[in-house]
Amino acid sequence: MKLSGERILYPCYFDATLDRSSGRRVPAALAVKAPTLQDLERALKRERLKFRAEEKSHPAHWHKREGRLVVAWGGRKEELLRRVAKALDVKR
């Protein structure tokens, strides 16, 4: 059950290798290649946002078993996505 003020984030939302129709939700300029759940956790900690990790998969990518994060956020989800995308600092 989804509670008020919580938003769910999946790593595929930030994946530069995916197109919008495949699940990416941020602009390509802000996306990173193959982000992990740990990358998103570091970005959320940098932004000082409260979250919890869950062992659930995105419905379209159920076979990847990548997990998801539930973030305490009262604003628009698009604002949260852009804020997290800007905080992602993936070095590969």
Please write the tens of the pLDDT for every residue from 1-50: 455 689 999 999 999 999 999 989 999 999 999 999 999 999 999 999 99
pTM higher than 0.85: yes
Rounded Cα gap, residues 68 and 64, in angstroms: 11
Domain that residue 30 falls in? 6-87
Within a domain: residue 45? yes
Within a domain: residue 92? no
Within a domain: residue 1? no
Residue 25 neighbours by CB under 8 Å, 6+ apart: 13, 14, 81
Number of domains in the chain: 1
Specify whether the CB–CB gap between 7 and 71 falls below 8 A. Answer: yes
CATH number at residue 18: 3.30.56.30
Rounded Cα gap, residues 27 and 20, in angstroms: 9
Q: What is the DSSP letter of 45?
A: H
